[in-house]
């Protein structure tokens, strides 16, 4: 038996190296016992075959059990993860001293995590965060598989506090669809690097569904073509998320809580390996003078003031529509049988959901453009707001003259959400749960808000209303091929793309109107003058000719 297995292993290795496309076929042809050689991802140069590790050759009843097995070799992994935002859901912005992160921020999508932990933490890299008493120090609570699964079968179910289901269950409830309990042993034996699928499992679905939140991050990036993403294209460079978000010690760089704007300085490029800067920037690979060819100097000059993304991501939501508006104030309508319902718009996208309110989706969206220096100010729960103004959940700081800003493309997401009329503050409310306070259960705002505010121990005046909010999202993914970058004319014309950006002089867009008026008038008068002069000469000449 063993020699045959060895032979199979060698065959598999040969297949994996020489015929990557057939590696799966080799797996299929293997005998009933899983062929170990095929457990390594095709083309992988890893020196460890996890299927051969004794610690993983046993059944696992739960996620934490798998984690303990992982930690028996990867002794520092959990403690590394414990330091990251993926684990803490918290970020103390050193520039603004604001305490951010999913745990603290109230956004204008699903709004807030507290009181909804077990649902939201389906996207936490841990197990068991079901309430405020979660043990952030427990190493076994770290979920290794959600990032390192290579089988595509590991799935955390909202409502299970970060756990996958350990026995087949219907999900979503009432849908008739069955979420299968994943084979933890098989998954553990095939762990590998993170992939577009593992990162995407959460980041593509932010805001409660595919393509909802970012506009430049959605499931279309799992198998993108070149037009959608020149770096990630399957038939091109085939980058994974980690190629740019080059991770060290589980610390993933490139957070939007503190964006690296990379104001270029003459001659200095923030290159990978030469700088301790953020590797997840365009400049980290392309440098500060990335353009070549005839227009290189002129385009590089543009790059001093414009973020690369401004020209190279001409539109976002290019493969599927993204949510642009979410109005919670209309949530809770029920049909004539007293049941929640959903409506679609003409294009077939969700337009209304009793649980969430009104939506608007858009495709191929032209970004808005703002000066941005990397500093972001948030309206936190504690922040007093002016209910007569649109509340800016976050505000991108920057301007033409601060020497640090560049013009960035953003998605501006607008909505309405509850605020405390007495205290003029944003409200936390209980969305999901088995209890009768959950809005999705009983559609009662008073109970939902009261429970949410009690959960965080904050004061609620008892009176709520809905306030208009907006949130800015940097557009940075879905870089198009250079042929699809913005053409000059898209800004150098009137009206142009950058019309709303102050402090720019754009030839073809901005001209001194007084100079134009005087210049053209004088030129016109000169023309009229010489025509009149010429006509006079012709007339006088004729008159003389007639006389003679």
Partner 1 sequence: MSTHAPTERIYVFKRFERFWHWSQALLIITLMLTGFEVHGSYALFGFERAVDIHTVAAWSLVTLWVFAIFWHITTGEWKQYIPTFDKVGAMARYYLTGIFTNAPHPFKQTVVRKHNPLQRLAYLSFWLMMSPLIWFSGWFYLFHDRWVDWGVDAYLSLEWVAFFHTLGAFMILIFFIAHVYLTTTGHTVTSHIRAMLTGWEEVEK
User: Strands (DSSP E) along 443-521, which ranges?
Assistant: 464-474
Which span (6-14, 224-232, 416-424, 530-538) binds partner 1, by CB under 8 A? 530-538
State how far the alpha carbon of 338 is from the alpha carbons of 174, 332, 334, 341, 439, in Å. Answer: 17, 10, 5, 9, 14
Secondary structure, 3-state, 340-392: ECEEECCCCCEEEECCCEEEEEECCECCEEEEECCCEEECCCCCCCCCCCCEE
Query: Could you give the 3-state DSSP secondary structure of residue 37?
Result: helix
DSSP state letter for 505: -
The contact mask relative to partner 1 for 485-524 (x = CB under 8 A, - = no) is --xxx--xxx----------x-xxxxxx--xx-xxx-xx-
Burial 285-296 (b: 16+ CB within 10 A, else e): eeebbbbeeeee
Would strands 394-396 and 178-179 be described as parallel, antiparallel, or unpaired?
unpaired
Cβ proximity to partner 1: between 21 and 267 the closer is: 267
Q: Minimal distance in Å, beta carbon 541 to partner 1?
A: 5
Of 285 and 506, which CB lies nearer to partner 1 in the complex structure? 506
Q: Phi/psi class of residue 215: alpha, beta or left (left: φ > 0; alpha: ψ in -120 to 50)?
A: left
If binding is defined by CB under 8 A, does position 333 make contact with partner 1?
no
Hey, which residues between 338 and 367 contact partner 1 (CB under 8 A)? Answer: none
Of 32, 45, 61, 266, which one interacts with partner 1 (CB under 8 A)? Answer: 266
Pairing of the two strands 394-396 and 376-378: antiparallel
Figure out which of the listed residues 25, 237, 304, 500 binds partner 1, where binding follows CB under 8 A.
304
- d(C-alpha 261, C-alpha 283), whole Å: 10
**Closer by beta carbon to partner 1, 111 or else 283:** 283
DSSP state of 327: E
CB-nearer residue toward partner 1: 384 or 547:
547
Complex with partner 1: residue 49 or 499, whichever CB lies closer: 499
Q: Is 73 in the site for partner 1 (CB under 8 A)?
A: no
**What is the number of other CB atoms lying within 10 angstroms of the CB of residue 456?**
15
Told to check if 301 binds partner 1 by CB under 8 A, we report yes
Q: Which stretch binds partner 1 (CB under 8 A): 24-32, 152-160, 472-480, 482-490?
A: 482-490
535 binds partner 1 (CB under 8 A): no
Cβ proximity to partner 1, 74 vs 537, nearer residue: 537
Judge contact between 217 and 203, C-beta under 8 A.
yes
Establish whether the linkage from the previous residue to 495 is cis, with ω within 30° of 0. Answer: yes
In the complex, minimum distance from the CB of residue 230 to partner 1, in angstroms, rounded to a whole number:
21
Rounded least distance, CB 405 to partner 1, Å? 16
Binding footprint of partner 1, residue count (CB under 8 A): 37
- Of 52 and 298, which CB lies nearer to partner 1 in the complex structure? 298
Q: Round to whole Å and give the CA distance between 295 and 447.
A: 62
Tokens of 89: 């859901």
Q: Could you say which of 274, 298, 342, 482 contacts partner 1 (CB under 8 A)?
A: 298
Rg (CA), the chain: 30
- For position 384 contacting partner 1 by CB under 8 A, the verdict is no
Measured from the CB of residue 502, what is the shortest distance to partner 1 in angstroms? 12
Using CA atoms, how far apart are residues 303 and 462, in angstroms rounded to an integer? 51
Q: What is the DSSP letter of 409?
A: E
Q: What are the distances in angstroms from CA 491 to CA 71, 488, 508?
A: 54, 6, 8
Q: Which of 109, 112, 111, 107 is nearest to 394 (CA)?
A: 107
Nearest approach, Cβ of residue 515 and partner 1 (Å) = 6
d(CA 246, CA 235): 22
Under the criterion CB under 8 A, does residue 272 sit at the interface with partner 1? no
**Of 176 and 495, which has the nearer Cβ to partner 1?**
495
- Report d(CA 213, CA 206) in Å as an integer: 5
Q: Is 547 in the site for partner 1 (CB under 8 A)?
A: no
Nearest distance, CB of residue 292 and partner 1, angstroms: 15
Binding residue for partner 1, selected from 294, 339, 384, 547, defined by CB under 8 A: 294
Shortest reach from residue 233's CB to partner 1, in Å: 26
Among 17, 237, 347, 530, binds partner 1 (CB under 8 A): 530
What is the DSSP-derived secondary structure letter of residue 21? G
Among 286, 527, 546, 547, binds partner 1 (CB under 8 A): 527
Among 178, 465, 500, 540, binds partner 1 (CB under 8 A): 540
246 vs 504, which CB is nearer to partner 1? 504
Looking at the Cβ atoms of 334 and 527, the one nearer to partner 1 is 527
Which residues contribute to the site for partner 1 (CB under 8 A)?
266, 294, 297-298, 300-301, 304, 487-489, 492-494, 505, 507-512, 515-516, 518-520, 522-523, 526-527, 530, 533-534, 536-537, 540-541, 544
């Amino acid at each position: 038996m063993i020699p045959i297995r060895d032979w199979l292993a060698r065959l598999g290795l040969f297949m994996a190296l020489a015929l990557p496309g057939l590696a799966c076929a080799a797996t299929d042809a293997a005998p009933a016992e899983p062929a170990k050689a095929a457990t390594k991802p095709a083309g992988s140069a890893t020196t460890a075959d996890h299927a051969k590790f004794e610690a993983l050759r046993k059944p696992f009843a739960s996620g934490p059990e798998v984690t303990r097995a992982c930690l028996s070799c990867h002794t520092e992994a959990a403690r590394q993860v414990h330091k990251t935002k993926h684990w803490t859901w918290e970020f103390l912005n050193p520039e603004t001293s604001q305490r951010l992160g999913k745990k603290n921020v109230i956004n204008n999508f699903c709004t807030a995590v507290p009181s909804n932990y077990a649902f939201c933490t389906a996207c936490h890299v841990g197990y068991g965060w079901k309430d405020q008493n979660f043990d952030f120090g427990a190493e076994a609570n770290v979920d290794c598989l959600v990032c390192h699964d290579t089988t595509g079968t590991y799935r955390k179910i909202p409502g299970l506090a970060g756990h996958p289901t350990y026995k087949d269950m219907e999900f979503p409830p009432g849908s008739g669809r069955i979420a299968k309990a994943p084979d933890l042993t098989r998954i553990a034996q095939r762990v590998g690097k993170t992939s577009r699928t593992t990162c995407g499992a959460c980041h593509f679905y932010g805001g409660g569904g595919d393509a909802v939140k970012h506009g430049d991050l959605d499931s279309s990036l799992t198998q993108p073509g070149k037009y959608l993403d020149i770096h990630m294209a399957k038939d091109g460079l085939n980058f994974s998320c980690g190629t740019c978000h080059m991770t060290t010690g589980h610390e993933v760089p490139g957070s939007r809580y503190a964006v690296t704007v990379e104001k270029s300085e003459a001659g200095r490029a923030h290159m990978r390996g030469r700088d301790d800067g953020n590797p997840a920037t365009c400049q980290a690979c392309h440098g500060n003078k990335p353009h070549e060819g005839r227009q290189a100097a002129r385009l590089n000059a543009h790059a001093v003031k414009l973020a690369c993304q401004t020209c190279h991501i001409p539109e976002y939501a290019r493969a599927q529509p993204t949510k642009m508006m979410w109005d919670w104030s209309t949530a809770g309508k029920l049909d004539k049988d007293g049941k929640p319902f959903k409506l679609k718009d003409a294009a077939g996208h969700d337009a209304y959901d009793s649980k969430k309110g009104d939506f608007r989706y858009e495709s191929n969206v032209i970004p808005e453009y703002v000066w941005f220096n990397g500093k972001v100010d948030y309206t936190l729960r504690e922040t007093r707001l002016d209910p007569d103004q649109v509340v800016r959940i976050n505000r991108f700081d920057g301007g033409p003259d601060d020497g640090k800003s560049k013009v960035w493309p953003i998605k501006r997401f607008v909505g309405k959400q509850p605020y405390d009329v007495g205290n003029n503050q944003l409200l936390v409310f209980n969305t999901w749960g088995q209890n009768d306070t959950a809005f999705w259960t009983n559609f009662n705002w008073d109970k939902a808000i009261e429970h949410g505010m009690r959960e965080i121990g904050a004061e609620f005046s008892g009176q709520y209303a809905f306030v208009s909010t907006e949130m800015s999202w940097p557009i940075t993914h879905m870089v198009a091929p250079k042929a699809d970058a913005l053409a000059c004319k898209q800004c150098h014309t009137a009206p142009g793309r950058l019309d709303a950006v102050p402090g720019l002089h754009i030839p073809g867009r901005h001209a001194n109107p007084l100079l134009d008026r005087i210049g053209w008038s004088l030129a016109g008068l000169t023309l009229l003058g010489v025509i009149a002069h010429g006509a006079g000469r012709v007339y006088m000449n004729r008159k003389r000719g007639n006389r003679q």
